[in-house]
Amino acid sequence: MKYRTLGRTGIKVSPYALGAMMFGAMGNTDHDESIRIIHRALDAGINFVDTADLYSRGESEVIVGKALKGRRDDVVLASKVHYPMGDDPNHRGNSRRWIMRAVEDSLRRLQTDHLDLYQIHRPDPTVDVEETLSALTDLIRSGKVRAIGTSTFPASQIVEAQWAAERRGLERFRTEQPPYSIANRIAEREVLPTCQQYGMGTLVWSPLAGGLLTGRIRKGQDNTTHRSATMPVHFDHEAKLNLVEELASLAGEAGLPMTHLALAFVLAHPGVTSAIIGPRTMDHLDDLLAGVDVTLDDDILDRIDQIAPPGTETGPNEIALNLPALTEPALRRRPVSERSAA
């Protein structure tokens, strides 16, 4: 496996990052099997493991911690903070108060004394970015965190955070984790170029578009057994199913499984460091590992550009559009008392 440098951190990581979201109650509830999957990935050369406190309310971190016993020094370990971890209104967000508590909880569950990468899972409009960066800087200086990053931040907030770090003499975000796939190429517009400009590494999530690009969801078939049945807007959109048919044809011509085509596509972008794969079973992992050395030539990439033009998305992509400025009405509506022009 050919390793890549994570931005300008000097850390070498595998082109596939093992995402741990599917370990625990959100996916595979068998801890022993999940640990075997992690070990199989490490044995295959993957050295980058990405989890979050949110995943199965900490259970994913517990499983990863068990799996890394005796192997921790060989793994670049990443986790995240932001989402609620209880009913207490202060047990969430990007405040110093919560970050300092959440990192200790994550370290305990992961059975380690440091994280190689600690990421802010989503923006928090209630917190100054300087507050967040100050807390993360203290964690780096204390040795509990080696590098810091963001996930699903718009380009404007990535830039503001870089400027804030320079103004205040704080550690800066070294990575970003955007959604990116053939079905959702929005990151090509601003996020990936911005990350390249600032020398940030990128770990792209949902490179298979939440399962859409596995080839298991096809037009005219009964897809009710797939998780698409619980996410009809995201998966059953006609344009998305048409996209799958065109990509299936292209993958067939290229002699590739669609999963390999989809992963090789995102890894071909010069701004992408690693693609996060999130297997739930050993079979899922083995299928994905078989494509780690696949590269696409310009003819195939040109065909993909014709099917799904650069910078576009195919149908509604609500999982990538859940930023507070879009989901919270109070952030895009003046109070009633201020709406009158009089």
**C-alpha 86: how far from chain center:** 23
C-alpha span between 263 and 269 (Å, rounded): 11
The token pair at 332 is 């895009």
Candidate list 55, 118, 180, 198, residue with the active-site label: 55
Q: Is 55 a catalytic residue?
A: yes
Please report the pLDDT score of residue 334 as a whole number.
Answer: 82
What residue ranges define each of the domains in the chain, with the CATH number in brackets? Answer: 4-214+259-296 (3.20.20.100)
Beta bridge partners, 149, equal 119, 175
The token pair at 210 is 């939440």
Pairing of strands 4-5, 12-13: antiparallel
C-alpha span between 49 and 104 (Å, rounded): 19
Please report the pLDDT score of residue 217 as a whole number.
Answer: 82
C-alpha span between 184 and 289 (Å, rounded): 23
Per-residue pLDDT of the chain (342 residues; tens, 9 = 90+): 899 999 999 999 999 999 999 999 999 999 999 999 999 999 999 999 999 999 999 999 999 999 999 999 999 999 999 999 999 999 999 999 999 999 999 999 999 999 999 999 999 999 999 999 999 999 999 999 999 999 999 999 999 999 999 999 999 999 999 999 999 999 999 999 999 999 999 999 999 998 999 988 887 775 555 554 444 444 447 888 999 999 999 999 999 999 999 999 999 999 999 999 999 999 999 999 999 999 999 999 999 999 999 999 886 554 555 667 777 788 778 888 777 655
pLDDT tens figures, 128-187? 999 999 999 999 999 999 999 999 999 999 999 999 999 999 999 999 999 999 999 999
Measured between alpha carbons, how far is residue 95 from residues 86, 90, 99, 100, 260 in Å?
A: 15, 9, 6, 9, 40
Beta bridge partners, 120, equal 81, 150
The reported pTM is 0.91
Q: Tokens 């995102």 map to which residue?
A: 266
Kindly give the interhelix angle for 31-43 and 282-289, rounded to the nearest 10 degrees: 10
Residues whose CB falls within 8 Å of the CB of residue 111, separated by 6 or more in sequence, listed in order: 65, 66, 68, 69
CB neighbours of residue 195 within 10 Å:
26
